[in-house]
Amino acid sequence: MKSKILTVLYGVIMSCSGSSQEVNFQIDEQSWQEDFQFLKKKVEKTVPSYHFPENKKAFDEIYEVISTSQIGNNKLEIVYGIQKLLNTLNDEGCNVPLFQNGIALEVLPIKPYWFNDGLFILDAAENYKDIIGQQIVKINNATVDEVFNELKPLLNADNEYYKKYLFQVYGLMPSVLNLVGFGKSNSEVTLQFASGNTKQIKGSTINDYLQLSRGLPNDEVFSFTKKDYKGKNYWSEMLPNTKTLFVQMQRIANNEEGISFSNFVNHIESFIKSNKTDKIILDLRYGGGGNGFKLKRFTDLLRDSNTINKKGNLFVLTSKATRGTLLELASILKLNTKAILIGEPTAEGVNTVGDTKYITLPNSGIRVSLTHTFWPTSWEKDISTFLSPDVSVEYNYSDKAKEQDPWLDVVYNYEVKEPYQSIPFELKNQLIGTYKIEGRKVSIENTNGRLFLTMNRKMKSFFEIYTELYYQSEGIISTDIDGVALAYTKNSSNKIELESLKWKGLNLNID
């Protein structure tokens, strides 16, 4: 079973191998400068995050250094320079794929995972099986944290959480370590373990690495039945002796074999309507990508279900690898249902999930990935770089060793808290109506005596809201979304006026 980061890398290899132009690092100085000028123009024209003031300033500063420096012909230094330049955009979609033809850097044939309590080896090639279960404390005599901090400019990501996830691959590439001063060889690395033992490991091809598996909780294999769903974009099983449906999605695209995604949603709908399930656990920990437009019917199904759309009946599992369309799904459900997010902060921000394309630098032939379109699920002013869970999970190596899934443990032990009280009648009638926030039309609607804040999505956006309102205290109306509330004022004649929408640290005026 492939880890999802390697599924992404495999897709990158396939995409990059489609280019007919050979990569050539033996070009003259003028040709390199032409390539960098070409890249700068493409970034300015293509990448949305380039136009964020801080990103633009950082990008332009790095570009100025590159454009006034001797480029030379050192493959690694050139790739590092491009990565460092693109890293200023704070977007994991903007990068140089390091496994493309003509670059194809070696990686150690081991599969580590950065747990809450350290970096442990979970799988290894046959001649290194003896180090499985070892905790890596030093890489070429430097601590893991020292190496990670030095490699950050090469780890193009929205946030620190996904940088740590990427480090599990890029931090174990001999030539990269050598380039940044943590090694003397482009072909091997010395690891030191918490046990005091050391091991010298030779680099190998990405194809060898692809054969390894971390075996993370319920990743493509259902722990209760041991049924293997390898290669499936989505699947579901009932938890034994319960009416809880466990649904895993790794990519929002039709499975190569079996039912389509649309029919999979039909399957879930039939379970809900026939009362076979009264609780859903949606596992979005492993993957990303696919078609966000396929989500609407599924999210509406969960929102409109009186059985599932209750506190404690819909859980969404996230991790530091939750990204792409799966991140969009988690965000949409948080804004439109009573879903409880369990796990870790996600790999991307709610407004920075994007579509990417590849460009080829004209002289060197290097392929570069650039984000060209964002699909927001929040207000434009929301610059958060991750989606926070409602309940955090700490995943330690001891959990893995015991084959435990701490995400499910949190779900089992979750206690539903009573919501704030209903909105008083005299306040309720004054709140109902249509308003404008940041140029968007929002409404407060009465549905069967309960008030909901609603907003429809618009073109090129998955941002919509359908959340219940509660009376929190004088002047504050809370919602089902953590960190989101309406502020109102009351004059001497008890007339209510909505003042602002408090949105996860933002204060948005209401017109």
Evaluate whether 190 touches 140 at the Cβ level (below 8 Å): yes
Helix then strand then coil, in percent of the chain rounded to 5, is 30, 25, 40
| Digit-coded pLDDT (tens) for 69-79 | 888 888 889 99
Positions of E strands within 388-473: 391-392, 433-437, 440-447, 450-455, 465-473
The rounded percent of the chain whose pLDDT value lies above 90 is 88
The CATH class for the domain spanning 221-348+386-412 reads alpha beta
Has residue 7 got a pLDDT over 50? no
| Digit-coded pLDDT (tens) for 16-60 | 545 557 899 999 999 999 999 999 999 999 999 999 999 999 999
d(CA 53, CA 348): 19
Both structure tokens of 449: 């005596």
| Digit-coded pLDDT (tens) for 49-66 | 999 999 999 999 999 999
Both structure tokens of 354: 């994007």
Kindly tell me the burial class for residue 214, based on how many C-beta atoms sit within 10 Å of its own C-beta (0-12, 13-18, 19 or more): buried
| Digit-coded pLDDT (tens) for 263-289 | 999 999 999 999 999 999 999 999 899
Task: Sort strands 142-143 and 198-202 into parallel, antiparallel or unpaired.
Answer: unpaired
- Determine the distance from the C-alpha atom of residue 101 to the mean position of all C-alpha atoms in its chain, rounded to a whole number: 27
Both structure tokens of 464: 């919509």
Which whole number is the average pLDDT over 428-434?
95
Question: What local confidence, expressed as pLDDT, does residue 13 receive?
Answer: 46
Question: What local confidence, expressed as pLDDT, does residue 12 receive?
Answer: 46
Question: What local confidence, expressed as pLDDT, does residue 460 receive?
Answer: 82
**Domain 425-509 falls under CATH 2.30.30:** no
**Domain 110-210 falls under CATH 2.30.42.10:** yes
Long-range contacts of 393-399 (CB under 8 A, 24+ apart): 393/342, 393/343, 393/344, 394/116, 395/115, 395/116, 395/344, 396/115, 396/116, 396/117, 397/115, 397/117, 397/118, 397/120, 397/135, 398/117, 399/115, 399/217
| Digit-coded pLDDT (tens) for 160-208 | 999 999 999 999 999 999 999 998 899 999 999 999 999 999 999 999 9
Question: What local confidence, expressed as pLDDT, does residue 10 receive?
Answer: 45
Question: What local confidence, expressed as pLDDT, does residue 11 receive?
Answer: 46
**Rounded to a whole number, what is the largest CA-CA distance in the chain?**
81
d(CA 76, CA 164): 21
Has residue 478 got a pLDDT over 80? yes
Which whole number is the average pLDDT over 383-404?
97
Question: What local confidence, expressed as pLDDT, does residue 20 receive?
Answer: 56
Question: What local confidence, expressed as pLDDT, does residue 1 receive?
Answer: 32
Both structure tokens of 368: 């570069």
* Domain boundaries, given as residue ranges, for the chain: 1-104+356-371, 110-210, 221-348+386-412, 425-509
The CATH class for the domain spanning 1-104+356-371 reads alpha beta
**pLDDT grade for 418, boundaries at 50, 70 and 90:** confident
Kindly tell me the burial class for residue 199, based on how many C-beta atoms sit within 10 Å of its own C-beta (0-12, 13-18, 19 or more): middle
Question: What local confidence, expressed as pLDDT, does residue 117 receive?
Answer: 98
Which whole number is the average pLDDT over 362-375?
97
Has residue 8 got a pLDDT over 80? no
Q: Which amino acid is residue 271, in one-letter code?
A: F
More confident position, 207 or 139: 139
Has residue 368 got a pLDDT over 50? yes
Evaluate whether 193 touches 136 at the Cβ level (below 8 Å): yes
Q: Collect all residues with Cβ–Cβ distance below 8 Å to 181 and sequence separation of at least 6.
A: 150
Q: Which amino acid is residue 393, in one-letter code?
A: V
Question: What local confidence, expressed as pLDDT, does residue 104 receive?
Answer: 84
| Digit-coded pLDDT (tens) for 387-397 | 999 999 999 99
Determine how many CB atoms are found less than 10 A away from the CB of residue 242.
12
Task: Sort strands 227-228 and 221-222 into parallel, antiparallel or unpaired.
Answer: antiparallel
The model's pTM is 0.94
DSSP state of 364: T
**How long, in residues, is the chain?**
511
Which whole number is the average pLDDT over 118-131?
98
